[in-house]
Amino acid sequence: MTFYSKYILNAEVASNHQKVRLFSSLAQVGKALASPVRLQLVDLLAQGDRTVEALAIELDLPVANVSHHLQVLREGGLLASRREGSHVRYRLVDEDAFRLYRMLRDVAARHLEEMDRAVRSYLGGEGLEAISREELSTRLRAGEIIVLDVRPEVEYRAGHLPSARSIPVRELASRLAELPRGVPVVAYCRGPFCVYAVEAVRLLRRHGREAIRLADGFPEWQAAGLAVERG
């Protein structure tokens, strides 16, 4: 083998090595999302930043288990964190992290039959009826509806739709009197697979109220560049 041939071979080996490193980095992002628990964590963090302990309570998992999953997401470039005293608070690193999760979710919903069956089983047939962000935005401007945020209050404070009222779904039955009769209600929560809004609509309808849910949730509203309020 000539010197030139050896040079070309070594260059090809080096190039292939760099290519493997490149795709290994890409695979690390895929690995970060390859877990039902980690996908749920991303879904929760799309509502606002949380401590490890708060996330563990929400998912009913040990803190050590949740901390491990958060580290994998961070190593995949999807999360950032900061320390607050003895607690560590996590957040999505930027809007791209949510877009990636949303794209994965939407591809699965469109192309996996099992996903469609799971959604229908989880939400129920009645829960699939919904209005779009565009229609809600139009009706908001007309001032002809009540917008109801049925997520936990901590998520409402982190960000919510304009003029939305906060009544967590577990408090709704005891606080129905706070909602004027004769005005349609649009309930929303964390996203298209969040059952809180579905439960709220069913409860409101059982009490003779006109109600429907938003097709997706607060993160999608915010990602669309629509106005949000905080506090």
DSSP string, 36-104: HHHHHHHHHHTT--EEHHHHHHHHT--HHHHHHHHHHHHHTTSEEEEEETTEEEEEESSHHHHHHHHHH
CATH class of 120-223: alpha beta
Pairing state of beta strands 79-84 and 87-92?
A: antiparallel
pLDDT bracket for residue 102 (50, 70, 90): very high
pLDDT in tens, 199-212: 999 999 999 999 99
Rounded Cα distance between 28 and 75, Å, is: 8
Taking residues 84-108, report their average pLDDT: 94
| pTM recorded for the entire structure | 0.86
What pLDDT is stored for residue 67 in this prediction? 97
Domain edges within the chain:
3-97, 120-223
pLDDT digit string (tens) for 145-183?
Answer: 999 999 999 999 999 999 999 999 999 999 999 999 999
In the residue annotation, 194 being an active-site residue is answered as no
Q: What is the mean predicted confidence (pLDDT) over 31-53?
A: 97
What local confidence, expressed as pLDDT, does residue 198 receive?
A: 94
**What is the dotted CATH code of the domain comprising 3-97?**
1.10.10.10
Q: Where are the alpha helices (DSSP H) in the chain?
A: 3-33, 36-45, 52-59, 63-75, 95-111, 113-123, 133-142, 153-158, 195-206, 218-223
Catalytic residue among 79, 136, 185, 189: 189
pLDDT of residue 128: 63
